[in-house]
Amino acid sequence: MKSIILNRRAALGAGAMLALGAYSARAQSKLPPITIVINQSPWFASFRQTVELYEKETGAKVNLDVNPFAGSLEKQRNSVRAASGQYDVLIMNSGWFAEMYAGGFVEAITDIDPGFKLDKDVYTLGDTVYYDPAKKVMTPAGKLMSMPISPLIPLLYYRGDLYKRDGLKTPETFAELEANARKLHSPPKMFGIVQRGARGPHTVAYDFYPYLYGHGGGIFKDQAAADYSVTLNDEKGRAALDYYIRLAREAGHPKTAAFDQTEVIQQMVTGQAGHIMMVIAAWSQMDDPTKSAVVDKVEFAPTPHVAGVPTSPGLGHWLGGISKNVPDDRKRAAVEFFRWFQTAQAQTASAKLGAIPISAAAYRDPISEERRFRWMKPMADSLKHAVNIYQFPEASEVIAILELGLNRAIAGEITSVAALNGMADEIHAVMAKHNYKTGKAAPLK
Amino acid sequence: MTDAVSAGGGESAREDAVWRWLMLAPAGLLLALFSVLPVVNLFALSFLNITWKDGRSTMSAAGLAHYLALPADNLFRAGLANTLVFALFAVLGQLLLGFFLALLTSRIRRGAILYRTIFILPILIPGIVIGAIWKLMYNPDFGLINQTFGLVGLGPFDWLKSADTALMSVIIVDVWHWTPFCFLLFLAGLESLPQDVYEAAELDGATWLQELLYVTLPMMAPTILVTMAFRLIVAFKVFDEVYLLTSGGPGTSTEVISFTIYQRFFTEDRAGYGSAMSVVVIFITALLLVLALAARRRRESAT
């Protein structure tokens, strides 16, 4: 048995560490309880367990107010616009965090605690954690406004067992994906690909982003340069939408226009889909024997793209912001939670609980080599190409336009050209109404 | 003396009027506070734009812009058209079924209470439970409806996810949900009809159909009109069934006007525009009520 010898200095050091630890735990336990408003998503269970771990380790108390996607936004708006806020931490989606920044509803973390530093391994996700209110842009020159909570982007999920059976190669381009999807397509038992084409708060638009940006297209010319000229209805946009619809009609599910996330995941876990492009948060359901008929059969890859364009998953991430209109002690307690949450240990632990880590440290951890975490490598490869779709607070108006136009095109109510031209006109009107520098391309014919 | 009496009577009438208004005033004030004021506020908001900066709201005049933008709004147009179709077919179905069930129940002497209880059950079920029940019923994999069709070799059909059947499916749910309301009103109406008219018709040798067409229906017309007006107004406000079953899709096939307002006002946070849309819907609903009341008045004056 190996003996441990303590000299006087080591003993003093250990004593000091213990005392510090005890003080830290005592200091944490004195923190007031905080309330986090959050949505019910596939990744929520792992977040809840991570919060429980925080409570156990520190003695702090965290209350979670869990809501549907749209309900969470509504509660956040009501809270931040009141004289005194109900929620200390707002879990904000990529579709609305800009609204919270620009509206002045979120307090910069470094304004609450000037000593707070974002860990160097934490992904800044298109620098969306920063905001410069004077220039209205998201750059590291701005203030640290939020902490990444879930760095969600879509990945391609595919049936590895069927790929092996048919000798298929993991698709990198859209052409390869289409060929493989057609090969596996055998309805009604197996659909080559199942897409999320339903209209919702941020549903079909989010599903379409990897297609649009992976074709080299985009909604606006250059958001970083504040040029909001609408480019949605250019040839790249048309190629992307035509591809999406062709895939749905010829190698996809006939009810694509009505399928939301639940149905798409359901098709995959019941073994009826060859491919899905789905937010990575759903990975744990694939290998859960109580929910899945395809345990250990699903593989992951970055979303496809055309030659010369990198994989371009749209950020559908979640950020944690601290409300401006809550008492200072609760703000500080929220900062303490963030301080703990961003550590490599907390992130690795949360990954083991099923969460998607926000820290590169967790992706370097040996767990990423384990079979059940096989999504980590493609995730790390994709994160550096993730696209921040919206940088302005009126994003919800643009999303609503996309949701309707895309859904109608997929449902066959209107042609892709009519949909793209119509959406471009409406988005242009929105940007002009809010006094952004904008313009529009000649309509597609 | 006569003059004195008359003067005294006039004074008493004036006093009565004063007291009448005084007694009514609290209720009137409450009504103004809780009913009229919010609508006035909504109307005022429909001419404004609201933006948020530094945690504070800023209002700016929008003039008629919100109202002028409505005709070009695809979702508003689809919502209005679908709501009209929905209200028309759902109310027609409810009136026919409700009347038929009431007619049958009014003739039952034994077990009438049991039938009444069974027929009114759907109206007692909360909307969210109705959504769950019918989502299961319409399920293409294990839903009761598809299983029934499967017995004769048909289907499965994805009722809620096909643009061809989604609106019809939601209408069926609404008919199921609200027929008991019509049933109850019709049953009360039928049971209050004077029996001597029926006895006279019987003596004259009227058949069952003649009795229905020339006795029951004319006498029930006011009840039918009022029920139809109530139901039309409520059907025009449909939201929960659409939200729970289809969320307005696929495409715009089940988009209804309340759902459009919800999206524009709440999801997109466009309070001014959403208010303008709401004002238009309030106007249309009020118009329906006025038309129904006018039809009733015309009928009453004709008889």
Average pLDDT score over residue span A286-310: 96
Q: How far is B253 from chain A (nearest CA, A)?
A: 9
Whether A21 shows a pLDDT value over 60: the answer reads no
Whether A105 shows a pLDDT value over 70: the answer reads yes
Q: How far is A27 from chain B (nearest CA, A)?
A: 31
Predicted local confidence at residue A393, as pLDDT: 87
Whether A127 shows a pLDDT value over 80: the answer reads yes
**Cα dist. B99→B124, B212, B228 in Å?**
19, 11, 11
**Phi-psi region at A73: left, alpha or beta (left = phi > 0; alpha = psi -120 to 50):** alpha
Q: Which of B52, B74, B269 has the CB atom closest to A396's CB atom?
A: B269
Yes or no: say if A274 and A191 are a contact pair by the CB < 8 Å rule: yes
Q: How far is B74 from chain A (nearest CA, A)?
A: 9
**Chain B residues touching A104 at Cβ < 8 A:** 52-56
**Chain B residues touching A74 at Cβ < 8 A:** 266
Fold of B71-302: MetI-like fold (1.10.3720)
How many Å apart are CA B111 and CA A31, to the nearest integer?
Answer: 65
CB spacing of B163 vs A412 below 8 angstroms:
yes
CB spacing of B249 vs A74 below 8 angstroms:
no
**Chain A residues touching B267 at Cβ < 8 A:** 70, 73, 201, 396, 400
Average the pLDDT over each of A81-85, A328-332, A395-399 and give the range with the smallest value: A395-399
How many Å apart are CA A88 and CA A98, to the nearest integer?
Answer: 18
Chain segment B92-109, per-residue pLDDT in tens: 999 999 999 999 998 887
CB spacing of A99 vs B269 below 8 angstroms:
yes
**Chain B residues touching A80 at Cβ < 8 A:** 55
CB spacing of B267 vs A73 below 8 angstroms:
yes
Yes or no: say if A344 and A359 are a contact pair by the CB < 8 Å rule: yes
Element spanning B77, H or E: helix B74-106
Q: Count residue pairs from A and B with Cβ separation < 8 A.
A: 84
Yes or no: say if B219 and B260 are a contact pair by the CB < 8 Å rule: no
Yes or no: say if B45 and B272 are a contact pair by the CB < 8 Å rule: yes
Chain segment A317-334, per-residue pLDDT in tens: 999 999 999 999 999 999
Q: Which residue of A has its CA nearest to B164?
A: A411
The CB-side HSE value for A369 (13 A sphere, CA atoms) comes to 3
Class of domain A29-152+316-374: alpha beta
Q: How far is B250 from chain A (nearest CA, A)?
A: 5
pLDDT confidence of A29, banded at 50, 70, 90? low
**Chain A residues touching B246 at Cβ < 8 A:** 258
Do A29-152+316-374 and A154-314+388-433 agree at the fold level? yes
Average pLDDT score over residue span A292-304: 97
Domain ranges across chain A: 29-152+316-374, 154-314+388-433
CB spacing of B249 vs A411 below 8 angstroms:
yes
Average pLDDT score over residue span A184-197: 97
CB spacing of A258 vs B162 below 8 angstroms:
yes
**Chain B residues touching A81 at Cβ < 8 A:** 52, 55, 57
CB spacing of A104 vs B56 below 8 angstroms:
yes
Average pLDDT score over residue span A425-431: 95
CB spacing of A102 vs B267 below 8 angstroms:
no
Domain ranges across chain B: 2-45, 71-302
B19 three-class SS: helix
Whether A11 shows a pLDDT value over 80: the answer reads no
Mutate to test the interface with B, among A408, A414, A423, A428 (most CBs of B within 10 A): A408
List, in sequence order, every residue forming a beta bridge with A338; answer none if it has no partner. Answer: none
- Identify residues of B whose CB sits under 8 angstroms from chain A CBs: 52-57, 74-75, 158, 160-163, 166, 246-253, 263-264, 266-270
Whether A213 shows a pLDDT value over 60: the answer reads yes
How many Å apart are CA B271 and CA A77, to the nearest integer?
Answer: 13
Both tokens assigned to B200:
């006279």
- What was the ipTM of the complex prediction? 0.76
CB spacing of A104 vs B55 below 8 angstroms:
yes
Task: Please measure the distance between the N-terminal and C-terminal CA atoms of chain A and give it in whole angstroms.
Answer: 81
In degrees and rounded to multiples of 5, residue A346 shows phi and psi of -65, -40
Predicted local confidence at residue A295, as pLDDT: 97
Question: Is A39 exposed, middle or buried (CB count within 10 Å of its CB: 0-12, 13-18, 19+)?
Answer: buried
**Chain B residues touching A258 at Cβ < 8 A:** 158, 160-162, 166, 246, 249-250
CB spacing of B52 vs A81 below 8 angstroms:
yes
Q: Which of A259, A325, A411 has the CB atom closest to B251's CB atom?
A: A411
CB spacing of B55 vs A70 below 8 angstroms:
no
Architecture per CATH, domain A154-314+388-433, reads as: 3-Layer(aba) Sandwich (3.40)
Whether A19 shows a pLDDT value over 50: the answer reads no
Predicted local confidence at residue B9, as pLDDT: 67
Segments of chain B with pLDDT less than 70: 1-9, 303
**Chain B residues touching A261 at Cβ < 8 A:** none
Whether A5 shows a pLDDT value over 70: the answer reads no
Q: Which of A199, A258, A396 has the CB atom closest to B268's CB atom?
A: A396
Predicted local confidence at residue A341, as pLDDT: 98
DSSP B91-154: HHHHHHHHHHHHHHHHT--SSHHHHHHHHHHHHHS-HHHHHHHHHHHT-TTT-HHHHHHHHTT-
Q: Which of A73, A400, A413 has the CB atom closest to B252's CB atom?
A: A413
Residue A388: CB atoms within 10 Å: 17
Q: Which residue of B has its CA nearest to A255?
A: B161
CB spacing of A102 vs B53 below 8 angstroms:
yes
**Chain B residues touching A73 at Cβ < 8 A:** 267
Q: Which amino acid is it at B296?
A: R
**Chain B residues touching A408 at Cβ < 8 A:** 74, 251-252
CB spacing of A396 vs B56 below 8 angstroms:
no
Q: Which of A325, A396, A408 has the CB atom closest to B252's CB atom?
A: A408
- Identify residues of A whose CB sits under 8 angstroms from chain B CBs: 70, 73-74, 77, 80-81, 99, 102-105, 198-201, 255, 257-259, 324-325, 393, 396-397, 400, 404, 407-408, 411-413, 422
Q: Which of B56, B161, B267 has the CB atom closest to A201's CB atom?
A: B267
Average pLDDT score over residue span A348-358: 93
CB spacing of B248 vs A325 below 8 angstroms:
no
Both tokens assigned to A397:
């108006």
Q: Which residue of B has its CA nearest to A429?
A: B69
CB spacing of B249 vs A259 below 8 angstroms:
no
